Amino acid sequence: MEKIIKEYNQWLKDNQHFILHLREHDSTLYTRLAPIYEVLNYLAEENENNGLDFDDDIYKIFQIGLEYLHSQIATCKLYLENAFKNDFHHFMEYDVVVSYILYLEDLKYEIIENNIDYKKQSLDKLVSFLENLMSDKSEVPDNLNIYVDSEVHKIVDSTEFHFHSIIDIFVEIAETLGIQLYYEDDYLIGKDI
């Protein structure tokens, strides 16, 4: 338990600036990764401040979350470095594209893991389309979400497969732990009362 907390703290030290930068820019990538990041922070703080002992289930949640977060952030940083020459603001123009690529990686993993038939060529074509948007520095279409969604439905028969991602699982874990992931600002319209 102590070893994985140390590992997380070191990873956090190396990556927290990048994660917080994503959050400050209201990035789609931060919204995507927030459930895992917040659950790991909560568990680490509970361990440190309140002596939360990691049973097998909590240890497994922490381990899976750390591995997943590490791979996702590493992929983001590779795109930032290779496609955008470390220009963070230019990278942010394509954060939704990177988020879809990460989503498609998750989808492909789950499809293969569950031995579900899918159209590999169509999936590869969609990933190439997204990567080309970045490499060509093309304008991100306003309806990209609709396009990606319609293509995903062509890749896998949704009646045969219901995709429940690791992020969905961590949202459920966060809810169970009472962690509020998303905050909404209240606006008062009209005269002050």
187 has pLDDT over 50: no
The percent of residues above 70 in pLDDT, for the chain, comes to: 92
> pLDDT tens-digit profile of 35-86?
999 999 999 999 988 888 889 999 999 999 999 999 999 999 999 999 999 9
Which band of pLDDT confidence, cut at 50, 70 and 90, is reported for residue 25?
very high
Q: What is the pLDDT at residue 107? A: 94
Average pLDDT, the chain: 91
Q: Supply the pLDDT for residue 176.
A: 93
Mean pLDDT, residues 84-96 taken together: 96
CA distance 10 to 81: 21
Q: What is the pTM of this model?
A: 0.88
Amino acid in the structure at residue 87: D
- Residues 13-41 have a mean pLDDT of 96
User: Residue type for 134, please?
Assistant: M
Tens digit of pLDDT for each residue in 132-141?
Answer: 999 999 999 9
116-129 pLDDT, tens digit each: 889 999 999 999 99
Determine the 3-state secondary structure of 55 from DSSP.
coil
Cα separation, 16 vs 19, whole angstroms:
5
Per-residue CA distances from 172 to 103, 122, 175 (Å) = 18, 31, 5
The percent of residues in the chain predicted with pLDDT above 90, rounded, is: 79
> Which parts of 25-94 fold into alpha helices (H)?
28-50, 56-84, 88-92
